[in-house]
Amino acid sequence: MDTKKIVEEIIENKAEDGGIQQVYFVACGGSLGAFFSANHFMQSEAKKLKAAAINSNEFVHDTPAAMGVNSVVILCSHAGNTPETVKAAELAHNKGATVIGMTYTPGSPLTEFCDYVVGYKFRTDLEMNFSEDKALVPLTIAVEILNQVEGFEAYDKYQDGLNKIDGIIRNAQKQVEQRALDFAQTYKDDKIIYTMGSGAGYGAAYIQSICIFMEMQWINSSSIHTGEYFHGPFEITDLNTPFLIQMNEGRTRALDERALDFLKKYAKRYEVVDAKELGLSTIEAPVVDYFNQTLFTCVYDIYNFALADARKHPLSTRRYMWKVEY
Amino acid sequence: MDTKKIVEEIIENKAEDGGIQQVYFVACGGSLGAFFSANHFMQSEAKKLKAAAINSNEFVHDTPAAMGVNSVVILCSHAGNTPETVKAAELAHNKGATVIGMTYTPGSPLTEFCDYVVGYKFRTDLEMNFSEDKALVPLTIAVEILNQVEGFEAYDKYQDGLNKIDGIIRNAQKQVEQRALDFAQTYKDDKIIYTMGSGAGYGAAYIQSICIFMEMQWINSSSIHTGEYFHGPFEITDLNTPFLIQMNEGRTRALDERALDFLKKYAKRYEVVDAKELGLSTIEAPVVDYFNQTLFTCVYDIYNFALADARKHPLSTRRYMWKVEY
């Protein structure tokens, strides 16, 4: 069933109970980060609908009082077996919420408690269209929900963006190939690399910090919001500390530019990944913000393969995951 | 005017326009972090009211579509002159929202665009009662709003908690005095210290990372959510990397305990600040979560004075703030 029909059916089923009033995005780590664009979209655009992105285990132990028959709970687990996320799905189901499970693995434990199971493509799928990316699928669901519940004026522009994003990303990935190799050589021996981002693109910085630098490369990191940078974090800026700064195309670009201006003056070792330079601006202004995250994440792939290679530390190396109980 | 009367007046004034529908907490850095408890409270307890905590500059550039006559916008700036926050207040005022400004500095620029100005006490005020803390004042406003708009069953228990918190914190501060000195000696030469926390207490970990370690001590840091830890960040855990982990009393304690159990096995250098051990449990279960942040922040003060002293790096040292244009 396509996203539009799923949302139509949910609204029909909830009609007698007061319709959809809350949307919760629930997952852990990179899967939670993949929801940040969709959650930001709801926070920015919705007039009435409540939305939140919540870590699965927090959702289980500190369940929002509003969660129930008027809620849509969208969960994501790549292998579909993250215990906290499966438990969160069960809880949402038992409270009468409509549960949409996103997983890469059909038939995985997560799907047991789901009213709808939605797949996505992963960046290792050579034939994928980037509009099916893990961050864009929940965004497309959020756009559908908002449009059908409250109306969303830029709905057609969003669909147009979905049509364009694959070509933009493929070009961008080629564009950064040499830069990625240079980045890898420059930073391969660093013990800490900060990421920076803002607005609807922030999730990409979060994922790059916790899933790539920390998890897959054992490099210390934190994702600094470019608006928050000037209110604490910037004091650690010096000529040695490395930053990977992403420049959104869209509303919060001014925040990123201000941070970059500061880096130009007081830092020396920073890498700029700029959505505007990478061609995102062909997507129309009212919706361009929401495509930053997927663009950055897909471009970081090129950087990450190069970095893992230069460090001789494969992205699949773990000391704890898959190895010890926790 | 007291908080209860302020909220009564706001509701009366908005009665013809549809009442209060959204609450936005808007600030930068430590002042934004001070809102996390109040925002978490709204996210957890509100059935209908929308709420979000947003960096001031992001709020200015990426203003939520819902923000307007049905909104209460609560802003905070200690000196009342943070340009982004003053601009956010002006914007909120111009869009017809009710603006509540929190500042330590009466008559500061922030107050120009405020319908109500609310003070708080700072931890340097020797005569303060900790119920007037920067994180509790907005929480008390949020509790009032929720109670008057939707009803909040544990309202009296919250007031009881407000009466107890001062005594609890004063005892807790004494209790950690020696530990703080030991902590300072043990970690004074470290280049990175992670903080960890969850739920309604997470803001204290955020502030400790960005305002103390990074801003005031130039120590690299990141605040890791204990539920997110197992989905990326935990791979950097080893026998050398230091963690300051806070253990909430309340709903998300299970998340913190799981992270601590892991540290006990695979790390060696970690400091535990435990709200339960520090006496928070005398506050009743339905509201105890919301007092974690202030307890932690005030206890960290003791640690931070000791750390600054041991490192001969006064908390007031800056290289950029007050010194360069940005």
Q: What is the least distance, in Å, from the CA of A55 to any CA of chain B?
A: 6
Kindly indicate the confidence band of residue B243, based on its pLDDT and cuts at 50, 70 and 90: very high
Output the six-digit token pair for A51: 């939305």
Q: ipTM score of the complex?
A: 0.98
- In the chain, the amino acid numbered B80 is G
B283: confidence class by pLDDT, cuts 50, 70, 90: very high
Instruction: Tell me the average pLDDT across B41-63.
Output: 98
Most A-contacting residue of B31, B37, B48, B57 (CB-CB within 10 A), to test interface: B57
pLDDT at A251 over 80: yes
Classify domain B162-310 by CATH number.
Answer: 3.40.50.10490
Q: Give CA–CA dist B211/A232, Å, rounded.
A: 5
Residue among A58, A219, A265 whose CB faces B255 most closely: A58
Q: What's the CATH number of domain A167-311, 3.40.190.80, 3.40.1280.10, 3.30.70.20, 3.40.50.10490?
A: 3.40.50.10490
The residue of chain A with its CA nearest to that of B40 is: A64
Q: Is B301 or A125 the better-scoring residue by pLDDT?
A: B301
Find chain A residues with C-beta within 8 A of B84's C-beta. 227
- Average pLDDT score, chain A: 97
User: Whose CA is closest to A32, among B50, B222, B231?
Assistant: B231
Q: How far is CA A255 from the centre of its chain?
A: 19
The nearest CA of chain B is from the CA of A320 a distance in Å of: 6
Q: What is the pLDDT of residue B125?
A: 82
DSSP A47-107: SS-EEEEEEHHHHHHS--TT-STTEEEEEEESSS--HHHHHHHHHHHHTT-EEEEEESSTT
Q: What is the mean pLDDT of residues A174-178?
A: 98
A18 pLDDT higher than 90: yes
Quick one: average pLDDT of B237-262?
98
Q: How far apart are CA A79 and CA B116, in angstroms?
A: 51
In this structure, chain A runs to a length of: 326
CA distance A71 to chain B (A): 11
Closest partner residue to A52 (CB to CB) among B29, B43, B237 is B43
Over residues A262-283, the mean pLDDT reads 98
In A129-213, where do the E strands start and end?
Answer: 194-197
Cα of B146 to nearest chain A Cα, Å: 12
pLDDT attached to residue B2: 94
Please provide the DSSP assignment of A221-259 as one string: --EEETTTGGGTGGGG--SS--EEEEE-SSTTHHHHHHH
A235 with B200: Cβ contact below 8 A: no
B129, B144 contact by CB (below 8 A): no
A-B C-beta contacts closer than 8 Å: 191
Cα separation, B225 vs A205, in Å, equals 16
A220: β partners: A192
Residue A68 has pLDDT above 80, yes or no: yes
Contact between residue A239 and residue A264 where contact means Cβ atoms under 8 Å apart: no
CA distance B145 to B130: 21
Average pLDDT over residues B75-80: 96
Alpha-carbon gap, residue B310 to B190, rounded angstroms: 12
Q: What is the pLDDT, as a whole number, of residue A26? A: 98
Cβ separation A231–B32 shorter than 8 A? yes
Which residue's entry shows tokens 């059935």? B47
Q: Which residue of B84, B193, B216, B236 is the best one to mutate when testing the A interface, meaning the one whose CB has the most A CBs within 10 A?
A: B236
Q: Which DSSP string corresponds to B257-275?
A: HHHHHHHHHH-S-EEEEET
Per-residue model confidence (pLDDT) at position B135: 97
pLDDT in tens, B168-219: 999 999 999 999 999 999 999 999 999 999 999 999 999 999 999 999 999 9
CB atoms within 10 A of CB A163: 11
Determine the topology of domain B3-152 in CATH: Rossmann fold (3.40.50)
Question: pLDDT-based confidence at A125, cuts 50/70/90?
Answer: confident
A326 pLDDT more than 80: yes
Q: Which residues does chain A have within 8 Å of residue B218's beta carbon, measured at their own beta carbons?
A: 235-236
Q: Do B262 and A326 touch (CB under 8 A)?
A: yes
pLDDT digits 0-9 by tens, A196-226? 999 999 999 999 999 999 999 999 999 999 9
Least Cα distance to B28 among B60, B62, B57, B3 occurs for B57
The predicted pLDDT at position B124 comes to 76
Q: Which amino acid is at B129?
A: N
Average pLDDT over every residue of A124-129: 84
Does position A123 have pLDDT exceeding 80, yes or no? no
Q: What length is written for chain B?
A: 326
Beta bridge partners of A280: none
Which of B46, B47, B321 lies closest to A235 in CB terms? B321
Q: How many CB atoms lie within 10 A of CB B94?
A: 10
Give whole-number Cα distances, A244 to A85, A165, A256, A261, in Å. Answer: 30, 23, 12, 14
- Edge-to-edge strands, sheet with B270-274: B223-225, B194-197, B243-247, B270-274
Cβ-based contacts of B21 with chain A (< 8 Å)? 48
- What pLDDT shows up at residue B237? 98
State the CB neighbour count (10 A cutoff) for residue B86: 21
Q: CB–CB of A88/A74 below 8 Å?
A: no
Strands A71-77 and A22-27: parallel
Q: How many CA atoms lie within 13 A of B25 on its CB side?
A: 26
Distance between CA atoms of residues A102 and A123, nearest Å: 16
Are A98 and A10 in contact by the 8 Å Cβ rule? The answer is: yes
Q: What pLDDT, on the 0 to 100 scale, is given for residue B1? A: 83
Which of these, B230, B188, B234, lies nearest to B213 by C-alpha position? B188
Domain boundaries, chain A: 3-152, 167-311
> Is the pLDDT reported for residue B83 higher than 90?
yes
What is the reported pLDDT for B326? 93
Do the Cβ atoms of B55 and A225 come within 8 Å? yes
- Mutation target among A222, A239, A318 for the B interface, most CBs of B within 10 A: A222
What is the average per-residue pLDDT within B233-240?
98
Cα B2 versus chain centre, distance: 21
> With bands split at pLDDT 50, 70 and 90, how would you rate the model's confidence at B14?
very high
Query: Which residues pair with residue A270 across a beta bridge?
Result: A243
Number of helices (H), then strands (E), in chain A: 12, 9
CB contact under 8 A, A252 and B319: no
Q: Which two tokens stand for residue B291?
A: 């007092």
Question: How is residue B192 annotated by DSSP?
Answer: B
Q: 3-state class of A178 per DSSP?
A: helix
CA A224 to CA A201: how far, in whole Å?
12
pLDDT band at B122 (very low <50, low <70, confident <90, very high): confident
pLDDT (0 to 100) of residue A241:
98
Q: What is the DSSP letter of B217?
A: T
pLDDT of residue A1: 83
Residue A289 φ then ψ, to 5°: -50, -40
User: In Å, how far is B316's CA from the nearest CA of chain A?
Assistant: 12
